[in-house]
Homo-oligomer: A and B are copies of this chain.
Amino acid sequence: MSSTWGNNIKVSIFGQSHSEAIGVCVDGFPAGEGVDVAELERFLRRRAPGHDPMSTARCEADRPKILCGVVNGVTCGAPFAAIIENTDTRSGDYADLIDVPRPSHADYPAHVKYKGFQDVRGGGHFSGRLTAPLCIAGGICLQILRRRGIEICAHIASVGNVEDERFTPLGVSEAEIKTLSEKKFAVINDAQGAQMQQDILRAKSEGDSIGGSIECIIQGVPAGIGGPLFGGLDGALSVAMFGVPAVKGVEFGDGFACTRLRGSEHNDPYRIKDGRVVTKSNHAGGILGGISTGMPILLHVAIKPTASIAIEQESVSLSAMENRNLTILGRHDPCIVPRAVPVIEAAAAIAILDALPNTNI
């Protein structure tokens, strides 16, 4: 069990919310790949906090410092490492949490696993802040994949009971992808987006939080990537998704909706189009038998409501082993979904680059 992951590329994410620095090491990037730092920083800003009333007030510059693996803007084949120094930390806010675990946070299971030695300040290694180095690694993967004709794009599929439109399963245009990636609130239908934002602010004003979901499309993956049984591309993507804090469900294509369908409705007929084998529909979401079909890969993940809420909650004192009420101070996102959109893209990008045959290695 580890924070290190992958086969063709090994991604090691390190750091705690309030440690000296957080960062990532990636062993296995192909040599000779351009790393556009400005583009990477734009990508990172999409998950950075502190930009609007819906996200935590903690403000981090989140500028990655590349330590190695890149020479003159190009990967050199040696492991890549980058860090973000932690600056704006207010550890005092968390002093009380050492003994009283926050409900639905990792505090209690981490306390057991690490025998009481875990870093509780700001959630330690379990902080959502660790998605920043994940986005550094994933952001570079996205740049490499784009050069191989693979685009990854996610959007807010729902917040509470408000749903966005869904991607067309047969594929979306470059223009749609560009538009979405530049939106502050990444929805296809802005009217629905406005409703979502209202619901988030209402939850916030009530000291509460709200859940939602994210849809992600991966276009341009050639047919034949992945493998049977435990080597499936769906399995690999799901590990990446569950690696993102707060994800509670992952589905591909029609996902759980397929359970209500007949085979005659769900099967995707093959056709020849422009000399290529394609499917007329894409209920499968681009993966069959663990292997990519060449159609767009569609996945949808459930994001739970932020566990940190201002409302007083029931908990326990681990030292006294008695019930105790808890009021969480600190700064928290009332809904993690908007900031999680690029994180889902990053996690998907890591899984896809890892699954591609890497002729550079």
Contact of B248 with A242 in the complex, beta carbons under 8 Å: no
Is A103 an interface residue, CB under 8 A from the partner?
A: yes
A55 proximal to B (CB < 8 A)? no
Contact B16 A76 (CB under 8 A): yes
Min CB distance, A192 to chain B, in Å?
14
Residues of chain A from 237 to 283 with CB closer than 8 A to chain B in the complex: 238-243, 245, 247-256, 258-272, 275, 277, 279-280, 283
Cα separation A105 to B228 with both chains bound (whole Å): 12
**Chain B residues with CB below 8 A from A318, complex form:** 277
Stretch at the interface among A174-182, A183-191, A284-292: A284-292
Residue among A7, A249, A306 with the highest chain B CB neighbour number at 10 A: A249
Smallest beta-carbon distance A172→chain B, Å = 21
Interface residues of A in 148-188 (CB under 8 A from B): 158-161
Q: Which residues of chain B are within 8 angstroms of A240 by Cβ–Cβ distance?
A: 230
B2 touches A227 (CB 8 A): yes
A62 at the binding interface (Cβ < 8 Å): no
Confirm or deny: A342 has a beta carbon within 8 angstroms of a beta carbon on chain B: no
Query: How near does chain B come to A171, taking the closest CB pair, in angstroms?
Result: 17
User: Is there contact, CB below 8 Å, between A316 and B259?
Assistant: no
Of B28, B65, B113, B231, the residue contacting A291 (CB under 8 A) is B113
Distance of A91 from chain B, by nearest CB (Å): 11
How far is it, in angstroms, between the C-alpha of A71 and the C-alpha of B20 when the chains are bound?
10
Most chain B beta-carbon contacts within 10 A, residue among A268, A289, A315: A289
Q: Which residues of B contact A267 (CB under 8 A)?
A: 103-104, 305, 307, 309, 313
CB of A112 within 8 A of chain B? yes
Is A213 in contact with chain B by the CB < 8 A criterion?
A: yes
**Chain B residues, Cβ within 8 Å of A311:** 263-264
Say if the beta carbon of A83 comes within 8 Å of chain B: yes
- In the complex, the answer to whether A262 meets B210 with C-beta atoms within 8 Å is yes
Cβ 8 A contact of A270, one of B258, B279, B316, B360: B316
Min distance, Cβ A335 to any Cβ of chain B, angstroms? 9
Contact A248:B239 (CB < 8 A) given known A10-B4, A269-B314, A280-B314: no
A15: interface (CB < 8 Å): yes
Check A219 for interface membership: any CB of B closer than 8 A: no
Distance in angstroms from A343 CB to nearest chain B CB is: 11
Q: Mark A13-38, 1 if CB is under 8 A from B, else 0.
A: 11110011111010110011000000
Knowing that A104-B288, A113-B223 touch, tell me 9 more A-B residue pairs with CB under 8 angstroms: A1-B233, A3-B227, A7-B7, A32-B116, A77-B125, A112-B224, A159-B259, A211-B266, A238-B239
Listed A/B pairs (22) with beta-carbon separation below 8 Å: A3-B227, A4-B4, A5-B231, A12-B79, A15-B79, A16-B71, A31-B118, A75-B117, A76-B117, A77-B114, A77-B118, A108-B288, A112-B222, A125-B228, A134-B229, A158-B259, A227-B361, A235-B239, A235-B242, A248-B251, A266-B305, A272-B316
